């Protein structure tokens, strides 16, 4: 999806916090005014990228914003120092029988034991 950067920025902030972000905080974090923030949040919500739940903060109504999908933890792509071989791979793929991937998973198992 082609998004202007303020939406991307907002999504990144929301994704980085699994517990969610209040809309009343988000516009301060983004350095934009609250009306612009409402439009940004509406776009993300309309695109099904976030959930927006009504929330009361000291009697004032705001929204708690949570990402539908959390950002991927890059460390999940690593087995020790080895990046998962599927990144950049152009072999004919049969995931269940791939010897390259099996080797990597073996490395992963070893690196987890050694931690």
Q: Binding residues for ligand SF4, per CB under 6 A?
A: 85-86, 89, 91, 93, 95, 98, 100-101
The single-letter DSSP state of residue 2 is: -
Least separation in angstroms between CB 78 and ligand SF4: 15
Beta carbon nearer to ligand SF4, 53 or 89: 89
Beta carbon nearer to ligand SF4, 27 or 104: 104
Beta carbon nearer to ligand SF4, 53 or 91: 91
Least separation in angstroms between CB 3 and ligand SF4: 28
Least separation in angstroms between CB 81 and ligand SF4: 17
Helices 5-15, 23-30: crossing angle, 10 deg rounding: 130
């Amino acid at each position: 999806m082609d998004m202007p950067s303020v939406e991307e920025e907002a999504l990144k902030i929301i994704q980085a916090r699994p517990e969610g972000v209040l809309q009343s905080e988000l516009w301060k974090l983004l350095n934009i005014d609250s009306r612009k923030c409402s439009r940004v949040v509406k776009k993300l919500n309309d695109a099904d990228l976030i959930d927006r739940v009504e929330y009361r903060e000291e009697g004032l109504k705001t929204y708690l914003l949570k990402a539908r999908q959390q950002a991927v933890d890059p460390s999940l792509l690593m087995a020790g120092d080895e990046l998962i071989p599927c990144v950049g791979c152009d072999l004919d793929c049969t995931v269940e029988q791939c010897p390259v991937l099996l080797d990597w998973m073996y490395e992963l198992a070893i690196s987890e034991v050694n931690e």
